[in-house]
Structure formats: C-alpha cells, structure tokens
Homo-oligomer: A and B are copies of this chain.
Amino acid sequence: MALSGSPAIRETDWIRRYIAPLARSAEADDLRDDAAFAELNGLHALSTDMLVEGRHFRPEDPLDTVGQKLVRVTVSDLIAKGALPSRVLLSIAWPGHRPEAAFAALMAGIGTDLAQFHIALIGGDTVGTDGPLCLNLIGIGTAAGRQLVRRSGAVAGHWVVVSGTIGAGGLGLAAAQAGRSDSFAAHYRVPALAPLSAARLVSDHASASLDVSDGLLIDAARLAEVSGVGLEIDLAAVPLARPGDLVEDILAQCTAGDDYQILMCIPPGTDLPGFRRIGRVVPGAGLTLHHRGQSVPLPQRLGFEHRT
C-alpha cells in the first residue's frame, strides 16, 4: 500500500459520495471502520465471486449493468443453496483512467440490485489498479426454509428439475457481440434470475442443488460426480430460451452457460411452481442424454470447464 505513489484523495471522496449512501445499516458504521460488525446466528451460506474486465464483462459494457450482474451472480449462488441473501461486502480495484461518472454508474447498478433483493452492503475496500477493473463481492445468506443444500446430496430415484429457461446466456452473448439489443442481449448484461422465492423451494425440497452458470450439461455432470450418482436428462423436456426440436440446437443451449437458473434434485412426485422436470437421478455415475426415446451421445464439450 505504501507503493501507491500519490495519495488518491478522490477515491475517499467517491466512497463517501457513492458507496457510503448504500451502506446504511448500523453494521456498516458508514464504512468508517476496517471491519463490519454483524450479529449472525445460525447456519450461514457464504459465497465469493470475482468479475474481471475483459474476462467476465466487456470494457465497453455499461458499468451500471456490470454492477447489477455482480450482485446477481452472488444472489444466484445463494438462492441455489436454499439461502436468502442478507449482506454483502464489496471490493473494487479501480483503473485510474476511468472517470467519476463510470464509478457513479457502477455503484448505481449495485445499489439498484441490492435494494431489489433486500441486501445490506456492510463493508468494502476500494483500491487503485493499473490494470482492468476487478470486482469482488462476498455474499452472506441464511436458509430460506429448513436447510442449506449442497451439490452432493442427490439420491437415486429423485427427479431432476430446472427453473426458468436454459440458453439465454449463450444467445445473449452472441446478441451483445453482434450489437443487437434484444431480450437475449439484455439477459447477457443483466441476467434474469430464478425468483428469491425459489430459495425456499430449494431449502425445503432439494437433495442437491446448484445454479447453472457454466452450462446445463457440465453443471449436471458435476452434481452427479460429487453426489456419486448418475443423471439421465431428457433433452426434449428442457425448457429452452429459444424453443426448438433439433438436437443440435438444444445441445447448443444446454452447453452455453450464464443461465443463472437452478438445477436441483427433489423427491419424485413433487410438483414445484417455476420448476420443470427434465430427468432423474439413477444409480451409477455420469450423465446420460436422450431425446424422444432415442439415446443421444454426450457432446465433446459440456460447457465451460472453468470460468476464468
């Protein structure tokens, strides 16, 4: 920190002007201290997500939408664990060449979504960087219902269900890159999540759950692996962002990622609003696909191997 060279007084001003107004809970103490003090009782889910300019968003993306995406990535992680997010801590490495208006836009986007999801900003750190904008958000939540849910508890015989639709993330990236401004591009910028109320359904019903961020197929394969079971998925049953019956088209949407929907396993016969049954848990290992009674070989690429 002694390396910082000239003192950057403007960032202290920016914290006061744009961040402190978002941190109104007593726990944050107006961000005047080195730590937040929070009374926490019971089992908590804690997630941490880092977004880097050029990797997770494009340099030209409006920063208010980047701020919303940052909050949503974190909210999605927590909902899929059956948790309702309550608090976040925010760290920002800010490139000196970006203007104050960009900082204001970033914080406006973060503020909009913290308010929308009823989350308190309780702490943070703002530093300078000579590199790309780098954001880190820590999310804290508690069980929305009877428990928090891991990826690893899937039980043979359970149904595999998914919320919302699959494929909007990949279609959105393509639309944004092509300069289109349709609903898919909007999802790329500010992903639509499963509703907060889904956290309660996960918490009360799921044996295993995760959010679909790297692609439905790869995330399903990971859930199967850590649970020590097999998963059978009926491709014709997957609710698609762009409906169609061509296997190639379905597979493209099931391997694209950035969906931020919930994939979970629940006791058979359970019908939950907002979720659609797409398969079942079986003894054994690995992922098996079929489509209208026909077996479909696994594509070589199931999704993003690691989100770097």
Contact = CB atoms under 8 A, between A and B. Distances in A.
Interface residues of A, number: 84
Contact of A2 (B83, B134, B152, B258): B258
Interface stretch (A5-13, A232-240, A281-289, A291-299): A5-13
B58 A3 contact: yes
A308 B139 CA distance: 24
Given A4-B308, A35-B83, 13 more contacts: A2-B257, A7-B305, A36-B46, A36-B47, A37-B150, A39-B42, A48-B91, A49-B125, A50-B91, A50-B127, A52-B131, A89-B138, A129-B132
Interface string A18-58: 00000000000100111111111111111111111111111
A98 to B, nearest CB: 13
Interface string A126-140: 111111101010110
Contacts of A8: 305-306, 308
Given A55-B4, A125-B48, A136-B91, A210 B34 contact: yes
A7 B55 CA distance: 12
A204 to B, nearest CB: 17
Interface in A43-100: 43-58, 77-78, 80-81, 83, 89-94
Contacts of A169: 2
A102 interface: no
A230 interface: no
A4 B256 CA distance: 12
Nearest to A139: B35
Contacts of A51: 127
A152 B34 contact: no
Contacts of A48: 89-91, 123-125, 136, 138
Contact of A41 (B2, B42, B49): B42
A150 B31 CA distance: 11
A257 B258 CA distance: 43
A213 interface: yes
